[in-house]
Amino acid sequence: MVIFLGSWAMMFASIFFAYGMVRARAPVWPPPGMPPFPVLLPAINTVVLALSSVTMQLGLRRVRGGKAPELRWWLLGTIALGLLFVALQLQLWRSVWRGGLRVDSGIDGSVLYGLTWFHALHVVCGLGVLGWLLAGALRNTYSVRHHAPVRLAAMFWHFVDVVWVLMFLTVFLL
């Protein structure tokens, strides 16, 4: 998992680097005539994903602490927060689209949609893994001795959350 996450970190780093180059070369950001990137919805999404990391970590702690049956509730909470993130992301895309920021409206639109779509794809994949974990938790598959899948999924989920925080800071706040 560490190698897998390392490769994804390098990939996201290259996308952030490309974004940084575009921003550094732009005399003003966003380009004239383009609406500024919204802050409120991405800020709310940052809180939502941070809470989802907390629920995921609490679920992992319950399994490690011998309370594996409680994992299902923490996974449900994490899934609910992940779904809320995706729903808010859809709202964000809809609002900026209506505001005139499109994929084909220039480099700023390409950057915003490219980074956020790619990140959302990872969230959706993570939700699939969490659903799979939930099915196992409902069958009491995990225990103190057998919790590696939960630990590995938590690593991935935390990684996706950290990437969002970096994206929020660099794309929406700076």
Distances from the Cα of 92 to the Cα of 44, 45, 87, 117, 150, angstroms = 11, 10, 9, 11, 30
**Tokens standing for residue 103:** 């994929």
pTM: 0.93
Of 114, 94, 96, nearest to 22 by C-alpha is 114
The runs of H, that is alpha helices, within 65-106 are: 71-98
Helix axes 71-98, 40-64, angle to 10 degrees: 170
Return the amino acid letter for 97.
W
List Cβ neighbours of 116 (8 Å cut-off, separation of 6 or more): 89, 92, 93, 167, 171
Which residue segment(s) compose the domain that 17 sits in?
Answer: 2-173
Q: What is the pLDDT of residues 85-118, one digit of tens each?
A: 999 999 999 999 998 888 888 887 888 898 999 9
Q: Residue 15 burial (CB < 10 Å; 0-12/13-18/19+)?
A: middle
- Indicate the DSSP class of residue 103: T
The CATH number covering residue 115 comes to 1.20.120.80
Give the count of domains, the chain: 1
Question: How much is the pLDDT for 112?
Answer: 85
- Round to whole Å and give the CA distance between 63 and 56: 11
Q: One digit per residue, pLDDT tens: the chain, 174 residues?
A: 899 999 989 999 988 888 888 888 888 888 787 778 899 999 999 999 999 999 999 999 999 999 999 999 999 999 999 999 999 999 999 999 998 888 888 887 888 898 999 999 999 999 999 999 999 999 999 999 999 999 999 999 999 999 999 999 999 998
Give the model's pLDDT for residue 84: 98
Task: Using CA atoms of 170, 157, 56, 43 in order, give the dihedral in degrees to the nearest 10.
Answer: 20
